[in-house]
């Protein structure tokens, strides 16, 4: 399966999850989907038949509210059957409103933003101490980078030369209620990461799955952690959601967006 074919299948799954439950996190899920597809289908070493394989690469979704995208990708990759989407948000289900480790393929129980990169840095440091060869990939949001803990982890990663640590920032320019720059300016964002000692690249077309995959493969500096600032569109591919900068959707607005998104998939 090509990356673009996997992306389309996963997008269909996202729409299914949203429709089955009548609500969900549209914005972050549709901005980060291509990054997750690139990792699980091309870049990272994973084994859906053995999610606890010791030599697997670890993928940490720090912005754990983008769970619809994560569940879509995990199911398409074969970690669990898509029929289980119907369990989303049910009490006791393995598919909760933020990713949790009870889900096959999920490495990190998320919720409080700014913590996933700290967890990932710890995993990377532990792997170095144990002379293990697996890599750690962490996806954070741009609004999440307002948290001081993100920059503490950035200092830690550079100080301990964690070249097995990769961070992808989903730079969709909006938090759940306002433009990132209005809340607290991050620019010059790429230069900030570089100043902390990270090999850093800007992925201009961050919703192009092949460009994202190539960017991950292109950062190879020894002794330095890696950062991809992935320039994305919140609610990518669904204009009716994108124009409202939606974090979540339900009701008629959700239904309108689902119809638009599926029509576009059919045409393409």
**26-54, pLDDT tens digit by residue?**
999 999 999 999 999 999 999 999 999 99
**Residue 133 class from Cβ within 10 Å (0-12 exposed, 13-18 middle, 19+ buried)?**
exposed
* CA separation, residue 54 to residues 47, 57, 127 (Å): 10, 9, 11
Whether residue 9 contacts residue 77, with contact meaning beta carbons closer than 8 Å, is answered with no
**CA dihedral for 160, 166, 171, 175, sign (positive or negative):** negative
Q: pLDDT above 90 covers what percent of the chain?
A: 89
Determine the pLDDT at residue 183. 92
In whole angstroms, what is the distance from residue 36 CA to residue 33 CA?
5
| pLDDT at 266 (0 to 100) | 77
Q: What percent of the chain has pLDDT over 70?
A: 99
For residues 227-232, average pLDDT: 98
Average pLDDT of span 245-250:
90
Greater confidence (24 vs 209) lies with: 209
pTM across the whole model: 0.96
Residue 38 contacts by C-beta under 8 Å, 6 or more apart in sequence? 3, 209, 210, 212, 213, 216
In this predicted structure, the answer to whether residue 111 has a pLDDT above a threshold of 90 is: no
* pLDDT of 150 above 90: yes
50-62 mean pLDDT: 97
Domain boundaries, the chain: 3-267
Q: What is the pLDDT of residues 75-109, one digit of tens each?
A: 999 999 999 999 998 989 999 989 999 999 999 99
Structure confidence at residue 267 (pLDDT): 61
In CATH, which of 3.40.50.300, 3.30.420.40, 3.40.50.970, 3.40.50.1820 is domain 3-267? 3.40.50.970
Distance CA 213, CA 200 (A): 15
Which region, left, alpha or beta, applies to residue 131 given φ > 0 means left and ψ of -120 to 50 means alpha?
left
pLDDT of residue 198: 98
Computed over every residue of the chain, the mean pLDDT equals 95
Which pLDDT value is given to residue 176?
77
Instruction: Indicate the pLDDT class of residue 268, thresholds 50, 70 and 90.
Output: low
Q: What is the C-alpha to C-alpha distance for residues 187 and 225, in angstroms, rounded to an integer?
A: 20
Q: What is the mean pLDDT of residues 200-227?
A: 98
């Amino acid at each position: 399966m090509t990356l673009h074919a996997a992306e389309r299948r996963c997008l269909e799954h996202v729409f299914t999850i949203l429709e089955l439950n009548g609500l969900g996190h549209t914005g972050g899920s549709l901005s980060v989907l291509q990054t997750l597809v690139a990792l699980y289908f091309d870049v990272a070493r994973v084994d859906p038949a053995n999610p606890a394989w010791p030599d697997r690469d670890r993928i940490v979704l720090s912005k754990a509210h983008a769970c619809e995208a994560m569940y879509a990708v995990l199911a398409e990759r074969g970690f669990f059957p898509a029929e289980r989407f119907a369990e989303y948000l049910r009490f006791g289900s393995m598919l909760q409103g933020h990713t949790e480790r009870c889900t096959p393929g999920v490495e990190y129980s998320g919720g409080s933003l700014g913590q996933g990169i700290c967890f990932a840095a710890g995993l990377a440091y532990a792997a170095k101490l144990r002379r293990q060869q697996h890599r750690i990939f962490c996806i954070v949001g741009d609004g999440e980078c307002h948290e001081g803990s993100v920059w503490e982890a950035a200092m830690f990663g550079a100080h301990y030369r964690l070249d097995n640590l990769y961070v992808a920032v989903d730079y969709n320019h909006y938090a759940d209620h306002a433009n990132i720059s209005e809340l607290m300016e991050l620019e010059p964002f790429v230069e900030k990461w570089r100043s902390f000692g990270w090999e850093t690249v800007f992925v201009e077309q961050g919703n192009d799955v092949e460009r994202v995959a190539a960017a991950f493969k292109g950062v190879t500096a020894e002794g330095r952690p890696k950062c991809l600032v992935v320039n994305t569109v919140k609610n990518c591919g669904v204009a009716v959601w994108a124009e409202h900068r939606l974090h979540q959707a339900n009701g008629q607005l959700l239904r309108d967006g689902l119809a638009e998104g599926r029509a576009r998939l059919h045409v393409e």
